[in-house]
Amino acid sequence: MSKLNHIISIDQFLKQDLLDGVFNLADKFAKTDRKGSSSKPLKDKILASVFYEPSTRTRFSFESAMLRLGGSVISTESAGHFSSAIKGETIEDTIRIIGGYTDIIVLRHPEIGTAKRAASVSPVPVINAGDGAGEHPTQALLDLYTIKKELGNINDLTIAMVGDLRYGRTIHSLIRLLSITRGITLYLVAPKPLGLPMEYRPPPALSDMHIIEKEKLEDVVPYVDVLYVTRIQKERFSSAHLYRKVANSFMIDGEMLGKMQEHAIIMHPLPRVHEITSAVDDDPRAAYFRQARNGLYIRMALLQMLLEE
């Protein structure tokens, strides 16, 4: 199997053997339901989580994954305020220093490309936990894993991606990852200013994906197997006025749910704001809390693959 050094872009996972390796290991952890391995394979390792942007799921699932594998964790939650960045230290220097104290670094940063810069100087593996509006590769892995687990299949599906396709890094990574599948019809449903940037479309040579842009959610909901909903990302807008214009573009409520197929699933990387009402949560098609839980198993698998000697 291909060796993983850093996890920077989802493009590193466009190899079936590597993906199978991650998913099989995640299945093993899911079966033992979070207990990890009794041998605690990472017991002498330390993970640093260095987050310059807010996070709940990503940071806690990485930290919990490390602890469940027997490792230890040190963390800075608001690195922009509480690390030496505030004194003007470059990310390169910060990473060199943290890499000298720890065995792996999980990094979230508001600027595109920071994880790559960090990896280029780091003495230990770096995992991109979101670089601004760029990528979020570990989220894409847990998303595809969730689709496979929920629907039993990753090919010949109709998927709609809804919301902020311009700034949504989970979308950017997941679309690239879907290029390893076959026979996907992908509906992109976004307000005009939040459409998917060209650079995140899979090159036609890589994929037979059929991409269709739609403005109305109602037009696609009855046909989808997967409805992947995202938050409109307030923090990426330069003006509050622009944000308000698109903020409430889509909403999944009980009525919308009534139009979906019985076997379909609703996914969301979370946090949600207004785009899915809580009335939807108890429906078995609401897969987003199961999806978040899968993040733990996927991250346990990735940490073990990166760190086990």
Instruction: Show which residues are catalytic.
Output: 57-58, 87, 108, 136
Is residue 130 within the footprint of ligand NCD (CB under 6 A)? yes
Instruction: Work out whether 136 is an interface residue with ligand NCD (CB under 6 A).
Output: yes
How near is the Cβ of 30 to ligand NCD at its closest, in Å?
18
Query: Which residues, other chains included, contact 239 with Cβ-Cβ below 8 Å and sequence gap of 6+?
Result: none
> For 83-164, where are the alpha helices, taking DSSP H only?
91-101, 114-121, 137-151
Tokens representing residue 51 in the block: 């987050």
Cα separation, 134 vs 199, in Å, equals 10
Of 122 and 170, nearer to ligand NCD (C-beta) is 170
The answer to whether the CB of 181 falls within 8 A of the CB of 155 is yes
CA angle, 37 then 40 then 41, to 5°? 95
Task: Report, in Å, the least distance between residue 236 CB and ligand NCD.
Answer: 10
**Smallest separation (angstroms) from ligand NCD to the CB of 41:** 25
In order of 5, 26, 30, 46, 296, the CA distances from 34 in angstroms are 24, 10, 6, 19, 8
Does residue 139 belong to the site contacting ligand NCD (CB under 6 A)? yes
CB count within 10 Å of CB 205 equals 6
How many Cβ atoms from other residues are within 10 Å of residue 295's Cβ? 26
Q: 45 or 118, CB closer to ligand NCD?
A: 118
Q: Does 269 bind ligand NCD (CB under 6 A)?
A: yes
In the bound state with ligand NCD, the residue whose beta carbon lies nearer, of 49 and 139, is 139
How many residues touch ligand NCD under the rule CB under 6 A: the total is: 11
Q: Parallel, antiparallel, or unpaired: how do β-strands 226-229 and 210-214 relate? A: unpaired
With respect to ligand NCD, which residue has the nearer C-beta, 197 or 222?
Answer: 197
Residues, the chain: 309
Q: Which is nearer to ligand NCD, 41 or 266 (CB)?
A: 266
- Any contact of residue 202 with ligand NCD (CB under 6 A)? no
- Applying the rule CB under 6 A, the residues between 224 and 243 that interact with ligand NCD are 231, 233
Three-state SS for 229? strand
Q: 44 by DSSP, 3-state: which?
A: coil
| Mutual angle of helices 288-307 and 137-151, in 10-degree steps | 120
- The correct pick among 7, 104, 144, 270 for binding ligand NCD (CB under 6 A) is 270
Asked if 99 touches ligand NCD (CB under 6 A), the answer is no
Give me the 26-65 binding string for ligand NCD, x by CB under 6 A, dash otherwise.
Answer: -------------------------------xx-------
Does position 169 bind ligand NCD by CB under 6 A? Answer: yes
Q: Which amino acid is at 288?
A: Y
Residues of this chain that bind ligand NCD (CB under 6 A): 57-58, 130, 136, 139, 169-170, 231, 233, 269-270
